[in-house]
Structure 1
Amino acid sequence: MTVLTQFVVGLVFGLGLLLSGMSNPEKVLDFLDLAAIRSGGWDPSLIFVMAGAVAVTFIGFRLIFRRQRPLLDDRFHLPSSQTLDWRIAIGPAIFGIGWGLAGICPGPAFVALGYGSPAIVLFVVAMLIGMAAARLLASRQPQPSAALSE
């Protein structure tokens, strides 16, 4: 039952990305290009996608955490550390820069593979190589002990 549930959730997520335009790099780049406001080329429609996602998440978290445990697991898997280290600060910054340059991030990239675009295929291949390289580098380095919050 868990695999079927995961499939359905992934399918709904992918359909949402398609319907919202998040799997279209041009639409995302038109949203991120704030300089285009003056020329009328800015596309503000993704604000509604983000507002909808924030609203669903806000309500969903409030409802889910009222439960003793999740529906499909024996416990909630939440981060135990509240320490902010350099990897937690730099990782999202790199993600944001990449998203701003390419107009696409990992989830929508996999959905966009269905378009058959060579650029998307190249992006996904480069992304997977980058992920493998990051894991390899992380496994060779000692865990950071200095926290940003200290």
Structure 2
Amino acid sequence: MADESNTGQVAATIATDGEGKAPTAKKQRTARGPRAAAEPVQATSKASAAKRRRYSEEERNDKLKLIETQVVGGSTLKDAIKSAGISEQTYYQWKGAAKPAEQKLTKSTKPGPAGDELADLVQLEEENQRLRKRLAEKLRAENAELRKRLGLK
């Protein structure tokens, strides 16, 4: 049997492996050249046109009216929007925001039914109820007659 206390070969193997791997020096990086100066970005016509501008409520309404008159005059919607100097997205946002305001105004200024109209409306509702009841009775009677004929009841 082998002697477990015999570590001579193992120690010699470890020592030879350790000697074979000598520490290596780190690679030196070469110095970078001077950076090129950043070229100034030239403003294009698109960049200046894309600059945000806030329009007052009056200006918005004026532009919307201008576009509407141009469209009625025979121009296409896209051309009218371009001539107004706004994007299609802006046009539709303004138009959507203007609609609820117009609806509020028309609802508040629209007069309710007058006394005479209200009385007529009530009379029509009563007549409608009477006719519905008559129709329901007629259908029940017809349904009962058909059941008798078929012998279901």
TM-score bracket for the superposition, by shorter chain length: under 0.3
| Bigger radius of gyration | 2
- TM-score with structure 1 length normalisation? 0.21
